[in-house]
Homo-oligomer: A and B are copies of this chain.
Amino acid sequence: MAKPVSQRGFARERVIEAALSLFAERGVNGTSLQMIADHLGVRKAAIYYQFHTKDDIVLAVVRPVFDDMARLVRIAESITSAESRRDATISGFVELAVRHRRIGSLFYGDPAVISLVRSHQEFEDITDSLRELLIGATHDVGTRVAITMITAGVFGSTAEPHLQDISDVDLHRFLLDCAQNLLRAPQSAATPSG
């Protein structure tokens, strides 16, 4: 199936796509640069020309998620009303988590990916900005907990193997429902237990 391609011009995008398929199937640890080359029907040198290490490929795979997060941060930061800003951030977050669902599963399946990403300051900075937008000046404990439930829950759900049969459209709709329920609910000042 593989047709000959110029080594130098071999598209980054095809390498990333092939890597994502193999990572999903065998995990990052179970995938070598040679396997990616074989999958594409090219020599390993063609891969090396674009990426020097497997970590470079992993970072390229996750980059679009962080690019979208950075874009969401810029858009949300331009909204002046605090409430609209938070709503827009949450709805944008749900949207991008579902759209990048395959990449989210990668994090779930391969804890090494989490370590690698966390070791990159630029990605940590984007995550921090997003958290800042969501929590904002809120000191209310109930709201902080609800927002953490949303971010951890949405990300966890998109990555959950047992939900993989649910379509993107349905997953998006139900996650957004969940997020809205969590924010809308009166933050219990109730049960002031002793």
Contacts and interface: CB of A to CB of B under 8 A. Distances in A.
B153 A148 contact: yes
* Dominant SS among interface residues on chain A: helix
Interface stretch (A36-44, A79-87, A111-119): A111-119
B163 A145 contact: yes
A149 B115 CA distance: 23
Interface residues of A, number: 41
21 contacts: A111-B111, A112-B115, A131-B162, A135-B162, A144-B163, A145-B166, A145-B171, A145-B174, A145-B175, A146-B178, A148-B156, A148-B162, A149-B154, A149-B175, A152-B160, A153-B156, A173-B193, A174-B188, A177-B185, A181-B182, A182-B182
Interface of A: 111-115, 131, 135, 141-142, 144-146, 148-157, 160, 162-163, 166, 169-171, 173-175, 177-178, 181-182, 185, 187-188, 191, 193
